[in-house]
Amino acid sequence: MKKFFKNLVYFLFGYFLIVQIINFLAPYHWGNPWYSSKIQYLESKNLVKDYNLYFFGSSRVYRQIDPVIIDRELKKKGFKNINSFNLGSPATFSPQSYFLYEKFLESDLSKNVKFAVVELNSIDGIGSKRLHEERTYYYQNFSDLVYVGKSLSAQETLFNRKNINIYSKYLISYVEQNVLPANFKHLWIDDNFYKKSYLGKNKNGYFSLDEELSTSTDSVFKNYLRTRKRKLSLEKLQQRENLNFKLYSDYKKIKIDEKKANKIVLDRINKLITLSKEKGIHLIFMISSRASSNELKELSNFIPEPNFIDMANPSESEYSFMYSLENSFDVGHLNNLGAKKYSKALADKIGQIIN
C-alpha cells in the first residue's frame, strides 16, 4: 500500500510538472481564439513596426471600433503617422483584458506602440455556462486570483453569497489552469482555431456584427445573430422609445460617491499607466457605450484626464446617436452605421487627449 501511494505521489508530481512546462511553453493568449488569431497574424506578417495605436477590450471594442476611420480622422487632425489595430475580442473583460494588455507590453509587438486604448471594466463574473471552458481558465494566475479577491472585498465583504459565487468560480478556473495542459491541438493541428475572418475585411481587427452575419457560413451562429437583431426590430416604434429611454435612464440612475472608488482596481489601473509610460506608451482607459456602472463612474473620477475617455454618456448631444435604434445591432452593440459614427467620435476624443 505504501508503494502504491508513493508511486501515486510521483505520478501526480510528474503530471503537474509536465502541465506546468506545457503551459509555460504555450502562448499567453492560447485560449482566446479571436485575440490569438490577431496576434498570430501580426507576428507571422512581421508587423511590429506597422501599428502604433492598439485597442483592447470586449466585443464593444471588437465590433464597434474601426481603425480605418480612427486613422483617417486622426490624420485630419494632423496626426499623420497614426496606424491603429483592433485587438478586441468577445467577452474579454477584466481581469482577462488587463492580463492580455500586460503580456502585450512584454512582447515585441509593443516596441513601436505610442498609444493604447483599453476598455475600462469591472471584475467580470464567470457565468455557469462558461465555467470549465478554455477561454475562461487559460489566463488564470495567482496574482489575478488575489486581485479578484481583494477587488471584491473592497466593494463589500467578500463573504456574501454573490461574491463567494464569483470568487469560487475564479478559484475553480485557477485550479483548472494548473492541472489541465494548454490545448496545443488548437494551435498546431486545428485549422479552424486561427481564423482570418476574425481580422475583418480590412485585416485590422475590426469585425462588425453586421459583417459577420453576412459572411458567416455557420448556420447556427447566423440564426443566433438574426435572433438578436430581430428582437430589436419587433414593434419598431415601441422598441425605439424603449431603447432610448431605458439606456438613457440607466445612465442617469448611476449615482456615485466622488470620494469613493475601488482602491484595488484603481491601483491596477495606475500600475498599467505607469508600465505603459515606461514603455513610451500613452495609455487611455475608455468606458464603452452602453457599458457604464456605478463602479466605473467612481473610478473615472480618479483616473488622470489624459488617461481617460467616457464614450457612454448619452446626455452629450453629439453622442446621442449611440443610443438610437437606427444605429443598433442589438441592445448591447452598434451596427455598421453606428460603429462608423462611434469610431469618428472616439477619434475626436483621442485627438483631444494626445494633442
- 305 located within any domain: yes
Q: Mean pLDDT across the chain, nearest whole number? A: 85
Q: Residue 178 sits in which domain range?
A: 25-207+262-311
Residue 77 covered by a domain: yes
Categorize the per-residue pLDDT at 322 as very low, low, confident or very high, splitting at 50, 70 and 90. confident
The tally of domains found in the chain comes to: 1
Q: Classify residue 6: in a domain, yes or no.
A: no
Grid cell, residue 251, equals 445612465
Contact yes or no for 100/35 (Cβ under 8 A): yes
187 burial (CB, 10 Å; 0-12 / 13-18 / 19+) is middle
What is the percentage of the chain residues whose pLDDT exceeds 90? 50
Q: Would you place residue 237 in the very low, low, confident or very high pLDDT band (cuts 50, 70, 90)?
A: very low
Q: Is residue 280 part of a domain?
A: yes
pLDDT at 240 over 70: no
Mean pLDDT value of segment 237-251: 52
| 49 found inside a domain | yes
* pLDDT at position 262 over 70: yes
User: Does the residue 298 lie in any domain?
Assistant: yes
Q: For residue 34, which of 225, 182, 186 has the smallest C-alpha distance?
A: 186
Q: Pick the range with the lowest mean pLDDT from 40-54, 240-254, 320-334.
A: 240-254
Q: Is residue 69 part of a domain?
A: yes
What's the pLDDT tens digit per position in 175-215?
A: 998 887 776 656 555 556 678 889 999 999 999 999 999 99
Whole-angstrom distance, CA of residue 284 vs CA of residue 125: 24
Residue 285: the pLDDT is 97
Q: What is the mean pLDDT of residues 10-36?
A: 80
Instruction: Output the pTM of the full model.
Output: 0.89
Residue 157 has pLDDT above 70, yes or no: no
* Angle subtended at Cα 84 by Cα 311 and Cα 222, rounded to the nearest 5 degrees: 70
Per-residue pLDDT reduced to its tens digit, 100-143: 999 999 999 999 999 999 999 888 888 888 898 889 999 999 99
Name residues whose C-beta falls within 8 Å of residue 216's C-beta, 6 or more positions apart in sequence. Answer: 197, 222, 225
pLDDT score for 143 = 95
Q: What is the Cα–Cα distance from 173 to 329, expressed in whole angstroms?
A: 32
Q: Is residue 332 part of a domain?
A: no
